[in-house]
Homo-oligomer: A and B are copies of this chain.
């Protein structure tokens, strides 16, 4: 970040800095929720004292433009509504259009109350250990390999790579994926693969193309928030069914299929987010059998499936799918990095041809160049080497978190808490039975300097599920061990002095 500071100005440097930020915030360039640079980082970048930056941030806080959650950082607040609705003084006569009334409830407003309450529980002066994000550790990104891939792709850059892309995506990457999926038994004669802007866009396309208001979609409970939101945006009614240690409860699924027409089943059979649980091969086969008999297709979210750390590999649901029921979603966001937005959707051609056609209207195709970089990383063997490395690192991190929680017998140490150690993925889930408010427990953990996600994030109605998610992939082992202690301590406290759960808990976004 470049901030022009005029040393000859009579205005002190901290005021110049706060005025600069205030301008950017008021113009919306720094959006609500944006985290300002850490004071030390900005001071270094500008070559000034850290105290000067702190003074500038204090100014901003007094102006109501930012809030500093000590430990978590300084965040841009919503600018006061009054500012938005004041007519421009230059044209005082024009009546401002009432956007608030016009939008109405067509776009649900952001409600960050749960997240804000958890963040605010972090005591001042503590840099919290952040177990909120099941994403690849940015510090593990193979930057040199990525830079080399960029250099190679950019050297060979031809104008057609900068033209509108095929709605299907970069052909060499599709070809490579078809080959890789074939070796996993996931590429059938009538399948096609469509490249999308991350598997999130795949979910969104499926929901938009296949769901109409009132359609019933079955998911696991808890479930990935981004999927729930996409289904709900299409007007679908979500039936979130219970899970056991092997994933979706299929008896409950059968009951639901008997009780009402179901349009779509969404499931994450391998290293489910948030629970980390996986279906074994028998469960997968029975799921296919039940869905096939009911003629209900299944969206298989495969985004974590390559992150196995131990145990027997199960095939993908798609690999067992003789009926052509399964829409498989995959991504490079969890194995490499999410920033190039490259994911894919593999399913029978009859469906995918239509989705590709439909997708052109949505955004006229993806960034070919990003797909070319990913292709290069695959061809160079970078992904394979990188997977070896991150599997080892994440395995150690999982162990660092899980071992203290179950080491000497979970029930002894954490009365009424249950944890199924996952054999892969990026998160661990703790269930409380008898129930404790996930929100309350998350806040108690935050007071101990550790951030975890309350169960409410993963319920279609935002209900305060009696559980918490601990995402371990970006945190080092020592910190994870400390986090485990904080969790044990907080849960014990919650058992001793239970609080009433919040009536309704709407999560912030993005929840991943």
Contacts and interface: CB of A to CB of B under 8 A. Distances in A.
Copies of chain A in the complex: 2
A369 B174 CA distance: 22
A188 interface: yes
A352 B110 CA distance: 12
Contacts of A361: 200, 204, 226, 229-230, 233, 509
A369 B340 contact: yes
Interface string A361-381: 111111111100000000000
Interface residues of A, number: 119
Contacts of A233: 208, 358, 361
Nearest to A234: B208
A189 B350 contact: no
Interface in A354-403: 354-358, 360-370
Contact of A363 (B151, B171, B197, B509): B197
A81 B354 CA distance: 13
A91 interface: yes
B154 A147 contact: yes
A351 B190 contact: no
Contact of A339 (B81, B141, B147, B369): B369
A497 interface: no
B362 A341 contact: no
B292 A357 contact: no
A116 interface: no
Contacts of A348: 84, 97, 99
A106 B27 CA distance: 41
A293 B491 CA distance: 59
Interface in A80-130: 81, 83-88, 90-91, 93-100, 102-103, 106-110
A167 interface: yes
Contacts of A109: 354, 357
A64 interface: no
B160 A107 contact: no
A147 B152 CA distance: 10
Interface in A411-465: none
A126 B230 CA distance: 48
A45 interface: no
A501 to B, nearest CB: 26
A97 B150 contact: no
Interface of A: 24, 26-32, 34, 78-79, 81, 83-88, 90-91, 93-100, 102-103, 106-110, 135, 138-139, 141, 143, 146-147, 150-151, 154-155, 157, 159-168, 171, 174-175, 178, 187-193, 197-198, 200-201, 204, 208-210, 212, 226, 229-230, 233, 292, 295, 297, 322-325, 333, 337-341, 348-358, 360-370, 509-510, 512
